[in-house]
Amino acid sequence: MTTLTSKDIVRALKPLVGDGGALLADPLEMKSYLTEPRKRFHVPAVAVALPGSVAALQAICRWANQHRVPLVPQSGNTGLVGGQVPLSGTEVIVNLSRINRVREVNAAAGHMTVEAGLILEEAHKVAEAAGTIFPLWLASQGSARIGGVLSSNAGGVQVLAYGNARELTLGVEAVLADGRLYHGLNALKKDNTGYDLKDLLVGAEGTLGFITAATVKLFPIPEAQETALINVADPAVALQLFYLLRERAGSRLTAFELMNRFGIDLQLNYGLLPRDPTASPSPWYVLAEVNRMKGGASGALQAALEEALASGLVADAVVAESEADRTLMWAAREQMSEVQSKEGASIKHDVSVPIGAVPQLIAEGSAAVERAIPGVRPCPFGHMGDGNIHFNFSQPAGADPKAFMAREAGANAAVYEVVRKLGGSVSAEHGIGQLKSALLRQVKDPVALEMMQAIKAALDPNGILNPGKVL
Amino acid sequence: MTTLTSKDIVRALKPLVGDGGALLADPLEMKSYLTEPRKRFHVPAVAVALPGSVAALQAICRWANQHRVPLVPQSGNTGLVGGQVPLSGTEVIVNLSRINRVREVNAAAGHMTVEAGLILEEAHKVAEAAGTIFPLWLASQGSARIGGVLSSNAGGVQVLAYGNARELTLGVEAVLADGRLYHGLNALKKDNTGYDLKDLLVGAEGTLGFITAATVKLFPIPEAQETALINVADPAVALQLFYLLRERAGSRLTAFELMNRFGIDLQLNYGLLPRDPTASPSPWYVLAEVNRMKGGASGALQAALEEALASGLVADAVVAESEADRTLMWAAREQMSEVQSKEGASIKHDVSVPIGAVPQLIAEGSAAVERAIPGVRPCPFGHMGDGNIHFNFSQPAGADPKAFMAREAGANAAVYEVVRKLGGSVSAEHGIGQLKSALLRQVKDPVALEMMQAIKAALDPNGILNPGKVL
């Protein structure tokens, strides 16, 4: 779109990055900004700009918008769908890691304002140092940064109780394509003064603006967690157990995660678990957690499980009796994805369906992929309480990984067909980026796509923000 | 904007309302659609269209968009800011009360899909008949309808635990200005496939589309509520009590409402309460409620209150010992607004600030208005747990109501100045409509207004949907 050369662009941007900023154009220096976690995307960038302040970012956007230079917003570079890396090779990556201050913490009132470049784990520490929690926990929290976490509307393991990034955010500040600054920071639980711009920017994957700071919710630290690993015969039983626990624990139910025995066995085989955390062998397990606030009565999860055992709904379960027990149970859950890579290639889907349809999703999705690829080993797991399953398939034992991955498109089509039939989403947590933009055009309501395109054109008329992503 | 006469419009629309629909052009027949609760707005309409189906509504929009005929979306006509009644007199009201089916209820999975014309109280009954709750309770629930409740992002008395209309909605279906149908219904807790169009339509006050149906969340019925009316010396003590209860009860704290003695005394004087529901006289009170799920231990609120009493934070409190006690406490809270009209004129503000700033809001706002209008009687009350105060002022005792109301602009300016200084919102719950659109232009971030205008132009290029409202 621009007629400028890479040299022109670098020369023009260099003075714009501001105090504490930097502009990288050397391929070696740019490498870590171009290498994303799944190593699926390998397109170069013209440069990597690291603005030192919000004002510098505004100057960069103003210039880029005038000269039609495409920008790729990036913060921690942990996204799984290629949203934060180039698509055409003509883009400048604008990485916000140097805009990373904590602007304000009000622990008592339950909110803090942090900048886009702050690492998620640092945000956790800031909250905890103030005697509260910021309950957005992800596998990548050691490198993911607030800007990307919000731009991708990240979820994680406690969405069930606390909501995803969108629900945890009260207000945002953002730089628009032409450099204007949207002042949307606020600490208000209720504000009906116009359109919900905050929720439009959150989850837009950097296509509508750069989120530069956010006011997010903080919560009181629960006094304790009750955690159990529960044998269930199949996902339909898991669903009944979910209904039972929700009725008993209400919003105190903070996690309800599904796993199968295959994934546990793999972890034991590869030495990822020091011992089997389960009560006894079972085809499926649920990891459930209930929190207890200060002064509250303990034993809520235990009591509900006794009822489930008495009624025959579940046959066996183990309740964590120490923090070490709990850590082991969570390790079994969190290593589910990693261990599959040790067992060869795997095909992954991050999908959601209405909670009541999860058993059907797993049954029909597994059967469809097994028909397409005989011997494939389904390993669906994840946030069942949110209807969100990481629907993974390990290659047949001993098969050739490349030959298996060559059949990925067929497996995807089979899974997405079931998801579609059940009214589900082909990207529950990870977003669209460049990986799923073609898929989105196939599955999304055409009027929704038209609305999105109209909004994109209204807020970024020159199309310089993350072009080709999402839409 | 249109060159058509009223007769032309009526003639053209009549065949478009569909089976079960109606078109009213007779002033007497239109009257109830034009008369809004506060009787502040008195502009006529060209006609009132009552489409019998979503397809009929689409036909009306297609035609109106072609002919530049402005439409005013309306459902229960209970809005307090004139959003649902005409502004210029050239509009056609399109009332969705005949599109009112319950499309689906899935109580176990926790969602139902209902149409825009369903009365909120009917939605409650549908949820309860299925053994669940739809926890959005408003004073106007007997006449408010789902379309308006969502379009105004209504709140109510349990936002603290369950969220406002936006947070209670999973997906919406909407007819756009040109008649296209947005298929956004879904029952997904997680869906990261593109922009958050649902939250853009919710709270847009009918300026971006007609919400025709919504999938909303249902929750398990708590086994019991623990309710107390607690004496607090002032709003600062109420704030400390809120922090204490939130730490002890977490998300089980479903209500935290502030009231003053003045409002209770008025209700007793006017015979609105059979007896004083409080423990003893106090300048301020908090109505707090904690829910208890099935099988849970009781006494959580009592235990937290004993701690507050022991530490000297509060001096007295009464815990409801029966449903009758609880009903009386809630009556005292819910009659706060109504009773002020018996005591003469009152000036009202629906504002919010960060929760920690509520005491300052009340102190400085009251002082400012007392300076402007000596003898005025402040009666701030409401959803303190959400930072949302209905900041009302009763006229000086025995003063002339008209002379008092003539000073409304000064009182408004005084309150909004404090709200602004504290980073608050001039419309926490009730929206902008036509009442506050000029105010919005003064107080809102100019970039936010530009973004809103760009989005409006993108989705309703001919500006036929609720022109002059919000923006």
Ordered per-residue pLDDT tens for chain B, 471 residues = 788 999 999 999 999 999 999 999 999 999 999 999 989 999 999 999 999 999 999 999 999 999 999 999 999 999 999 999 999 999 999 999 999 999 999 999 999 999 999 999 999 999 999 999 999 999 899 999 999 999 999 998 889 999 999 999 999 999 999 999 999 999 999 999 999 999 999 999 999 999 999 999 999 999 999 999 999 999 999 999 999 999 999 999 999 999 999 999 999 999 999 999 999 999 999 999 999 999 888 899 999 999 999 999 999 999 999 999 999 999 999 999 999 999 999 999 999 999 999 999 999 999 999 999 999 999 999 999 999 999 999 999 999 999 999 999 999 999 999 999 999 999 999 999 999 999 999 999 999 999 999 999 999 999 999 999 999
Count of Cβ atoms closer than 10 Å to residue A374 Cβ: 7
Interchain contact B409–A (C-beta under 8 A): no
Nearest Cβ partner for B243 among A108, A164, A355: A108
Which of A182, A190, A416 is the best substitution to test chain B (most B C-beta atoms within 10 A)? A190
- The CA distance from A216 to A130, in Å, is 14
Dihedral angle of Cα B421, B425, B427, B432, to the nearest 10 degrees: 100
**In chain B, which residue's Cα lies nearest the Cα of A131?**
B247
Residues in Cβ contact with A173 at an 8 Å cutoff, skipping those fewer than 6 apart:
A54, A181, A182, A183, A184, A185, A211, A212, A213, A214
Q: What confidence score (pLDDT) does residue B3 get? A: 87
- The CA distance from B262 to B310, in Å, is 27
B residues 1-60 lying closer than 8 A (beta carbon) to A? none
Give the residues of chain A that fall short of pLDDT 50.
none
Partners of B386 on chain A (C-beta within 8 Å) are 189-190
Q: What confidence score (pLDDT) does residue A2 get? A: 83
Q: What confidence score (pLDDT) does residue A157 get? A: 84
Interchain contact A233–B (C-beta under 8 A): no
Do B448 and A183 make contact, defined as CB atoms within 8 angstroms? yes
Nearest Cβ partner for B190 among A180, A194, A352: A352
> What global pTM score does this model have?
0.97
- Helix or strand run (H / E) with residue B183: strand B181-184
* Residue closest to A240 by CA, chosen among A252, A228, A230: A230
What single-letter amino acid sits at B224? A
Q: What confidence score (pLDDT) does residue B157 get? A: 84
CATH fold of A344-431 reads Alpha-Beta Plaits (3.30.70)
CATH fold of B6-95 reads 3.30.43
Do A247 and B220 make contact, defined as CB atoms within 8 angstroms? yes
CATH number of A102-220: 3.30.465.10
Residues in Cβ contact with B76 at an 8 Å cutoff, skipping those fewer than 6 apart:
B97, B119, B120, B140, B143, B144, B145, B148, B149
SS3 of residue B151 by DSSP:
helix
Q: What confidence score (pLDDT) does residue A426 get? A: 96
CATH number for A224-336 (one of 3.30.70.360, 3.40.50.300, 3.30.70.2190, 2.40.110.10): it is 3.30.70.2190
B residues 300-319 lying closer than 8 A (beta carbon) to A? 300, 303-304, 307
Q: What confidence score (pLDDT) does residue B139 get? A: 87
Contact status, residue B263 vs residue B167, Cβ threshold 8 Å: no
Interchain contact B153–A (C-beta under 8 A): yes
Contact status, residue A389 vs residue A381, Cβ threshold 8 Å: yes
Interchain contact B217–A (C-beta under 8 A): no
SS3 of residue A105 by DSSP:
strand
How far is A7 from chain B, CA to nearest CA, in Å? 33
Count of Cβ atoms closer than 10 Å to residue A33 Cβ: 21
> Domain residue spans in chain A?
6-95, 102-220, 224-336, 344-431
Q: State phi, psi for B372 to the nearest 5 degrees.
A: -75, -35
How far is A251 from chain B, CA to nearest CA, in Å? 6
Same fold, A102-220 and A224-336: no
What single-letter amino acid sits at B78? T
Sign of CA pseudo-dihedral A357, A359, A362, A368: negative
Partners of B109 on chain A (C-beta within 8 Å) are 354-356
Do B188 and A424 make contact, defined as CB atoms within 8 angstroms? yes
Q: What confidence score (pLDDT) does residue B205 get? A: 98
How does pLDDT run across A215-253, given as a tens digit for each residue? 999 999 999 999 999 999 999 999 999 999 999 999 899
